[in-house]
Amino acid sequence: MSLLVTGTIGIDDVVTPTGHANQVLGGSCMYFSAAASFYSPVRIVAVVGDDFPQQFRDSFKQFPGVDLAGLETRKGGKTFRWGCKYHSNMNSRDTLFTELGVVGEAPAKVPPVFADSKYLFLANSPPAVQAGFLDQCPKRALTVADTMDLWINIAKDDLLGLLKRVDGLVLNYDEAELFTGKANTVTAGRHILDLGPRFVIIKKGEHGCILVHRDGICSLPAYPTERVIDPTGCGDTFAGGVMGFLASDKSAQHDPGSYASIRRALVHGTVVASYTIEAFSLDRLKEIKRADLDKRFEDYANMVRI
Amino acid sequence: MSLLVTGTIGIDDVVTPTGHANQVLGGSCMYFSAAASFYSPVRIVAVVGDDFPQQFRDSFKQFPGVDLAGLETRKGGKTFRWGCKYHSNMNSRDTLFTELGVVGEAPAKVPPVFADSKYLFLANSPPAVQAGFLDQCPKRALTVADTMDLWINIAKDDLLGLLKRVDGLVLNYDEAELFTGKANTVTAGRHILDLGPRFVIIKKGEHGCILVHRDGICSLPAYPTERVIDPTGCGDTFAGGVMGFLASDKSAQHDPGSYASIRRALVHGTVVASYTIEAFSLDRLKEIKRADLDKRFEDYANMVRI
C-alpha cells in the first residue's frame, strides 16, 4: 500500500560523548523515509532550499525506494539546520541551534501523483501544518502523527484538533507525561486515546516502547546494544520501520491500525532503529540491506521468545 | 532443588503519592521467600528481635512453602525497621530512617538441616555477611547475590571479593552504572562479568530488566500496569520468582545458571513483581494463587510473541 511521509529534511551538527558530525544529512522525513524504504516504497513531501548540497541529494540514491516527486527545492530558500549536543548518558540532549529556513515558510504541497496515498505519516511539525496535509490525501486509510514537547507547550489546541483526525500518535515517554500530566505511561497513553486516536506509541529510547491501543497494551524492549554512536533519528527511523512494514504487510491491509498489525510492526521499527544508533546520520543505514534487518529481527524474536 | 535465602525481615513504614502503610511486614528475605514459595519450597535464614509481632509471624502461614527453621528470634533484640517515601513518579524514593537492630549484630546461622541447600540467594546485606553464608552451604550449585549502592560506596572491596564466588549478581540499573562507571547497561553488565560472575541481572523497574550472561544478552519489558500502589519489594519478589522458578525447573537442573535457564526464569520474576506493586507490603501476594501467576505469564508471553 502506498506510504507518504511529510516532515523535515535538513543539515545537522551533532556532538556526542564519543565524537561529532558536522553538516550531515538529517531531518525527520529523511530518517523516516530511509528506514521505511527497506520495507516499502515511500513518498516524501518536504522542502529544502537551493543551498541543499548535491551530495545529499545523491544520498537518496542509496535508498531507491524513496520517491522524490514531492521534494520541493525552493529558490532562494535556506535548508533547515539543527545542532544538538548529547549528554554523557546519550539519553538526553541540548539543542544548540535551530535555523528553520524554508521549514518556517509555507509547507510543501502533496503533488497530485501522491494524492492517492493510503498510509500517511506526519513526522514532527507544527500540528496545524500536519493537519493541512490530511485534506491533501483524501484516500488515506491510516494516518499516524509524531509530535514533540515544543508543540505540547505552544500549540496544544492545534495538537488536540489534530488528534481528533489521526489514527495514531507517536511521542516520547517524557512528552506523554508532559502532555497528559500522568506519570504512569499506560495511564498517559489511555488519556491520549480519550482525545481521539485509536492507538499511541510511546517511545522510551533505550528502554523500548509501549503501545497503548484501544484493543490492547504491549511493551517491547529495545534491542540491547553497546554500539551507541548517535541516537539522532532513532525515533524517526523507528516510525519508518513501523510504517514501512505496515505498508508492506498484506495481512494488515484490511485493518492496518489493528492492535495485531501495529504490534507486529513495532518490532521492525525497533530493529531498524537499533542500526541507526550505530553511526552518525544515515551512515549505518547506508551500509545495511534488508537481509541484515531480517537477521536482527530473528535475533530479537529469539531474545523475547517464551 | 532446595532453595535457601538470606536477608532481612523487618517492619516498614512506606509513603507513596497515593497512600501510606505504617508498621507493615517487609524486608528482602520476606518478599523474596513469599514470591519464591509460589514455585518452590524455600528456606529462610534471617533474624528478628523478640519484638517481632505475632501477627507478622502468622503471615508466613499464607505462604506455606516457606520453611522457618532458619528464622532466629533473638532475645532482647530489636527487629529491623525501615521507612521510605516515594517520589511522585514512583521511580525513586528517599529513605526516611533505618534502624538496623538485630540486622546490625551477628548474622543468623544456616541451621544444619539447611546445609545441603543447592540454590542460594543472598538478598541485599553487607557483602562480607553475604560471603559468610557461602561456606555454610557447601553443596550449593547456584549462588546469586543482590547488592545496593550503599555497599558499592562503602564496602566495594568486600563486594569484589564476593563477586569472585557467586554465579550471578542482581542489582539496579543506576547501581550498575555507579559500580562500573559505564552508562551503557550492556557494557556495565559485561564489566561485572569480568569481575567473576557468569551472569548479571540488571533491574530497571518499570522498564524491565536486562540479563547480561557470558552466553547471551536479553532485554525484557516489565508487565505494563496502571495499578501502581507500592513498588517496595518488587526487586526482591522479582528475584524470588526467578530463583523459585529455577529451583522448580527440572529442565534447568543440569545447568541452572545457563543463559536459557535464567532467561526463562526472568519472566516468572517479572510476573510475580507485577503483582507485588499492586498493593502495600505483601497484601497482593497474599491474595493470589499460582494460577493467577500462570495466567499473567500467558498474557505476558502473548504480548511479546513475535
B222 and A220 within 8 Å at the Cβ level: the answer is no
In B135-201, alpha helices (H): 149-154, 156-163, 173-180, 185-193
Nearest-CB residue to B204 (from A187, A207, A225): A207
| A178 in B contact zone (CB under 8 Å) | no
Tens of pLDDT, residue by residue over A109-164, are 999 999 999 999 999 999 999 999 999 999 999 999 999 999 999 999 999 999 99
Nearest-CB residue to B184 (from A226, A300, A304): A226
Q: Which residues in chain A touch residue B185, judged by CB atoms under 8 angstroms apart?
A: 206, 224
> What does the pLDDT average to over A41-54?
97
| B181 in A contact zone (CB under 8 Å) | no
CATH of the domain at B266: 3.40.1190.20
Residue B1: band (very low, low, confident or very high) from pLDDT cuts 50, 70, 90: confident
Residue B116 has pLDDT above 90, yes or no: yes
Task: For CA atoms A300, A302, A304, B3, give the dihedral sign.
Answer: negative
Q: Which amino acid is at A99?
A: E
Our count of domains for chain A comes to 1
Q: Which residues contact A293 (CB under 8 A, 6 or more apart)?
A: A38, A241, A268, A271, A272, A275
Asked, for residue B306, whether it belongs to a domain, the answer is no
- Tell me the shortest Cα–Cα distance from B193 to chain A, in angstroms: 15
Alpha carbons A12 and A79: distance in angstroms, whole number: 11
Strands A3-6 and A42-49: parallel
| B220 in A contact zone (CB under 8 Å) | yes
Tens of pLDDT, residue by residue over A247-288, are 999 999 999 999 999 999 999 999 999 999 999 999 999 999
Residue A1: band (very low, low, confident or very high) from pLDDT cuts 50, 70, 90: confident
| Range of the structural domain that residue A61 is part of | 3-304
A147: nearest Cα among A173, A129, A123: A123
Using CB atoms and an 8 Å cut-off, which of residues 68-107 of chain B contact chain A?
A: 88-90
| B109 in A contact zone (CB under 8 Å) | no
> What does the pLDDT average to over B170-179?
96
| C-alpha pair distances (Å), A121 with each of A45, A241, B87 | 10, 12, 37
Is there a contact between A201 and A188 (Cβ–Cβ < 8 Å)? Answer: no
> What does the pLDDT average to over B282-289?
97
Asked, for residue B216, whether it belongs to a domain, the answer is yes
pLDDT cut 70: percent of chain B above it: 100
B219 and A217 within 8 Å at the Cβ level: the answer is no
- Residue B285 confidence (pLDDT): 98
- Tell me the shortest Cα–Cα distance from B257 to chain A, in angstroms: 17
Tens of pLDDT, residue by residue over B14-39, are 999 989 999 999 999 999 999 999 99
Q: Report ipTM (2 d.p.).
A: 0.94
pLDDT cut 70: percent of chain A above it: 100
> What does the pLDDT average to over B169-198?
97
B226 and A187 within 8 Å at the Cβ level: the answer is yes
Q: Which residues in chain A touch residue B228, judged by CB atoms under 8 angstroms apart?
A: 184
Is there a contact between B156 and B38 (Cβ–Cβ < 8 Å)? Answer: no
Q: Which residues in chain A touch residue B184, judged by CB atoms under 8 angstroms apart?
A: 226, 228
Q: Which residue of A has its CA nearest to B88?
A: A183
Residue A18 has pLDDT above 90, yes or no: no
The chain-wide mean pLDDT, for chain B, equals: 96
A218 and B224 within 8 Å at the Cβ level: the answer is yes
- Residue A91 confidence (pLDDT): 83
Q: Which residues in chain A touch residue B300, judged by CB atoms under 8 angstroms apart?
A: 306
Alpha carbons B302 and B70: distance in angstroms, whole number: 40
Q: Which residue of A has its CA nearest to B222?
A: A219
Asked, for residue B305, whether it belongs to a domain, the answer is no
Nearest-CB residue to B183 (from A89, A190, A267): A89
- Residue B180 confidence (pLDDT): 98
- Residue B204 confidence (pLDDT): 97
Q: Which amino acid is at A299?
A: D
- Tell me the shortest Cα–Cα distance from B172 to chain A, in angstroms: 14
Q: Chain B interface, mutation test: which of A201, A207, A223, A259, most B Cβ atoms within 10 Å? A: A207
In the numeric block, which cell numbers belong to residue B206? 518499570
